[in-house]
Chains A and B, each alone.
Chain A
Amino acid sequence: MDDWLIALIKVVFIWVWVLLIAVIMTWVERRGASMIQDRLGPNRAGPFGLLQPLADGIKLFTKEDIVPDKAKKILFSLGPILFALPAFSAYAVVPFGDKIVLGGKEIILQVSDINVGFLYVVALGSMAVYGIIVGGWASNNKYSILGGLRSTAQLISYEVPLGLALLAITLIYGTFSLREIALAQQGTFLGVFPNWGIFKQPLGFILFIVTAYAEANRVPFDLPEAESEIVSGYHTEYGSMRLGLYLFGEYVNLCTLSALIVTFYFGAWHLPYINMAAFLGPISYGIASFLVFFLKVSFFLWLFVWVRWTVPRFRYDQVMGLGWKALIPLALINLFITALAIQLTI
């Protein structure tokens, strides 16, 4: 019975936590963009405009919910849910810290440490495309369907290098469990480098981060919602909280992807050269590991914002070209070299 309770608490905690990050991200995005662009950004609602997301939420909730006459009603309502749900679910296997000992009971800071966590993440990542294509299709709008199609093509193309890049990681760590991958990144190798994925897989890291941007539909891969071309892409016809779910799902996606980057390549909760577990008590170690993990995640969240306001957007065929002609061959080469290296060293 205890395990159930702990699992429930973890689920609720991660749910609230991810929601909170997504909410704060909308604020960070707008303020960060404004700072980059010599502006001030929203600073009226609350101190530093921190209540702006709340104001946005109230606005979205109270707006009239319009379903276009010729839209496919059921699919139209289903779209945002299909989009947001996988984004949340994917976080279930992502760790958010090492472990915490409460009342003599060791609690792993991860909702569920399933041994095929890797496959689960990749599978749910490709689920998001249904939300987009269903929403785009159901809207009965040409811009929406174009956005949906762009997104589908893009997500499916970039699944491949994403999976291949991650495959190299699993080759190195020899496991599909995210927690085990994270645990394996402690210590150093060759004396100087921390045992992190990025030092073992530099090319894989670049591949993963590029595909992560594509998976999240962020600039420079934001063609599905390219405002200047197809208005808002797949959510052109959406308003009210349905739109809110799409926007929210996007930020939750960012959060999940950042957590994945940290877990796979940036040593999860480990600090380089320092073993926190050695000199911290069981509870403080749990909290510290969570904080370190969160700090790393927030850096990558910020990176998403930073890049977005720096670079222009690709064209549809260029995205496809980059995916199939550059990233997939590179990912294959990377996989091959990794496999070769492992074969030779063992």
Chain B
Amino acid sequence: MAKPVVEKKYTLGERIYLLEILKGMVLTWKHFVFNFMASFRSGPHTVPTTWQYPEDRREISPIFRGEHMQTLDDQGREKCIGCGMCAKICPAQCISIVKAKVPEDQQELYAGKTYSSSFNIDLLRCIFCGFCEEVCPTNAIVLGQGYELAEYRREGCQRDKARLIENFRLARESGKLKPQRKPVIVAEPKAKPAPEGGAQKDPGVQKVEQAKPKKAAAAKETT
């Protein structure tokens, strides 16, 4: 187990320490001057790499996997049919869901024939993998851009259905709804859609493809 012995071969410049240290100091000085000048610029986001967090927030990716929301369709009906796929796929088992038939007098509230009479997400367990979103046959559960999830009490981290729908409303108002995913193309064109790409189960694959340029434009605007 003899350790190899290394012969140190230094050039004169390396040997006398100071030359290389001075070179390094020139480099750090350049950075200092650049940032020093930058810090005089007006606006909160001055030094290019620092975000002054509470006032100055970085742009979050439109497909960010943050706090969940439950979507409503155009007529304001809940999309969730309570199938429980999300609860089943969830690696952290953070979703608990109770399926029920839609009562006769509440047909206008729900898009499907069944609905989830209770839908709870435990954010303390959630690992934000986004699988629930992918398996959902009706695109009812979506991970939004919310990332400020700190609470003072454990109970604060439980999300019930009302809160999830509220999340959706807020996102819709601020225009932060997730763009629909591009369909994932599966190797054999004739085969039925792959199991994991949630979006292609959507009836309107064609529509989605038309929506593509729009998203590209939006992305260009934002960057």
Contacts and interface: CB of A to CB of B under 8 A. Distances in A.
Interface of A: 32, 34-40, 206, 306-307, 309-311
Contacts of B25: 306-307, 310
Given A307-B25, A311-B21, A40 B32 contact: no
Q: Can you list the 4 inter-chain pairs with the closest CB atoms, starting with the nearest?
A: A35-B35, A40-B50, A310-B24, A36-B28
B211 to A, nearest CB: 38
A206 B46 CA distance: 38
Nearest to A306: B25
Nearest to B25: A310
17 contacts: A35-B32, A35-B47, A36-B28, A36-B31, A37-B31, A38-B31, A38-B35, A39-B35, A39-B49, A39-B50, A40-B50, A40-B52, A306-B25, A306-B29, A310-B24, A311-B21, A311-B24
Tell me the dominant secondary structure on chain B's binding face: helix
B217 interface: no
Contacts of B28: 36, 306, 309-310
Interface residues of B, number: 18
B107 interface: no
A309 B36 CA distance: 16
Interface in B1-49: 18, 21, 24-25, 27-29, 31-32, 35-36, 39, 46-49
Contacts of B39: 35, 40
Interface of B: 18, 21, 24-25, 27-29, 31-32, 35-36, 39, 46-50, 52
B32 A36 contact: yes
B47 A38 contact: yes
Contacts of B36: 35
B52 to A, nearest CB: 7
B147 to A, nearest CB: 21
A309 B21 CA distance: 11
Contacts of A311: 21, 24
A130 to B, nearest CB: 30
A36 B32 CA distance: 4
A310 B50 CA distance: 21
A38 to B, nearest CB: 5
Contacts of B31: 35-38
A37 B39 CA distance: 13
Nearest to A302: B32
Nearest to B52: A40
B7 to A, nearest CB: 17
Nearest to A32: B32
A295 to B, nearest CB: 18
A221 to B, nearest CB: 12
B213 to A, nearest CB: 36
Contacts of A39: 35, 47, 49-50
Contacts of B24: 310-311
